[in-house]
A and B are shown apart, each in its own frame.
Chain A
Amino acid sequence: MRINLASIHVSDQAKALRFYTEALGFRKKVEIPLDEHHSWITVVSPEQPDGTELVLEPDTHPAVKPYQDALVADGIPITSFAVDDVRAEYERLRKLGVVFTQPPTDMGPVTTAVLDDTCGNLLQLAQHHG
């Protein structure tokens, strides 16, 4: 058994694709139109092009919005991405206008930061030490 997909609900797939590729630096792997408004879109890390694909999934189900709102209010990220230097990423992304709800903070074996993906979710960046 392998984890080949992980999915994130996004409020706007085109906007999300721009954010996840242009700001975060992921690469589009698949884009298949499903209907007039929605597509099957996945992105991957350029460091792991054959690794787990992240699905940018439409947030059309009515349960998604209240779920996201409750998590965001409490500052809880929907998932976490590994970075080599969280402070450098923080500076780089802030210059692009990305909003952070938590600046880089030492949390035991990791230093983490939390940002807003502009499409309904918070994302954590984590740098593991040692």
Chain B
Amino acid sequence: MDDVFKALADPTRRRILDELAERDGQSLFEICGRLTTRHGLGLTRQAISQHLAVLEAAGLIRTRREGRYKFHDLDTGPLRRAVARWLPPEGPGDGGPQSPDATETPGPETSGPGTPDGPEPTDRAATPGEH
């Protein structure tokens, strides 16, 4: 649990999760390119590798070997478990088919378990799970 919060405490690592939330299965090269061109983060590949290792140790991303390629996927499982203790119990879970009026269910990933450095421009937060 401490690993999850420690991993999330760094803004670069949250950016990496933002980008992986947009599309799973990214190579290290693609993650570096996105951080540089979309967020102006001029980090070395080695530094990004280290951030990925922290995220992987916290269980927030998984690496997958596919032939000669290595891809990174987002895993929100630890995130959900980390914040579940403070959230009111939900009924049938995400978008339960039983309760059409329960559309205001708080999105645990986007409402934020506390990002101390203020709101971030999460333009894609409005469209979670778009592909």
Partner of A77, one of B26, B28, B29: B29
> Are A107 and B29 in touch, CB under 8 angstroms?
no
Number of interface residues of B (CB under 8 A): 16
Task: Tell me, rounded to whole Å, the shortest Cβ–Cβ distance linking A26 to chain B.
Answer: 23
Is B85 an interface residue, CB under 8 A from the partner?
Answer: no
> Are A69 and B29 in touch, CB under 8 angstroms?
no
Known: A107-B33, A108-B37. A75 touches B28 (CB 8 A): yes
Partner of B27, one of A75, A108, A109: A75
**Distance in angstroms between the alpha carbons of A107 and B32 in the assembled complex:** 10
> Are B28 and A112 in touch, CB under 8 angstroms?
no
> Are A73 and B68 in touch, CB under 8 angstroms?
yes
Number of interface residues of A (CB under 8 A): 18
From A68, which residue of chain B is reached at the shortest CB distance? B68
> Are A101 and B69 in touch, CB under 8 angstroms?
yes
> Are B26 and A107 in touch, CB under 8 angstroms?
no
Q: Mark A61-98, 1 if CB is under 8 A from B, else 0.
A: 00000000100111111000000000000000000000
From A103, which residue of chain B is reached at the shortest CB distance? B23
> Are B37 and A72 in touch, CB under 8 angstroms?
no
> Are B30 and A102 in touch, CB under 8 angstroms?
yes
**Distance in angstroms between the alpha carbons of A128 and B23 in the assembled complex:** 22
> Are A102 and B70 in touch, CB under 8 angstroms?
no
> Are A74 and B27 in touch, CB under 8 angstroms?
yes
> Are A107 and B27 in touch, CB under 8 angstroms?
no
Chain B residues near A102: list those with CB within 8 A: 26-27, 29-30
B residues 5-30 near A (Cβ < 8 Å) are: 23, 26-30
Known: A101-B27, A102-B27. A73 touches B34 (CB 8 A): no
Chain B residues near A44: list those with CB within 8 A: none
Chain A residues near B81: list those with CB within 8 A: none
Give 16 CB contacts A-B under 8 Å.
A72-B68, A73-B69, A74-B28, A74-B29, A75-B26, A75-B69, A75-B70, A76-B28, A101-B27, A101-B30, A101-B71, A105-B23, A106-B38, A107-B37, A108-B38, A112-B33
A contact residues vs B (CB 8 Å cutoff):
69, 72-77, 101-103, 105-110, 112, 114
Q: Name 6 extra pairs, CB < 8 A, besides A102-B26, A105-B30, A112-B33.
A: A72-B69, A74-B45, A75-B30, A75-B69, A75-B70, A107-B36
6 A-B pairs closest in CB distance: A75-B27, A108-B37, A75-B29, A107-B37, A74-B28, A76-B29
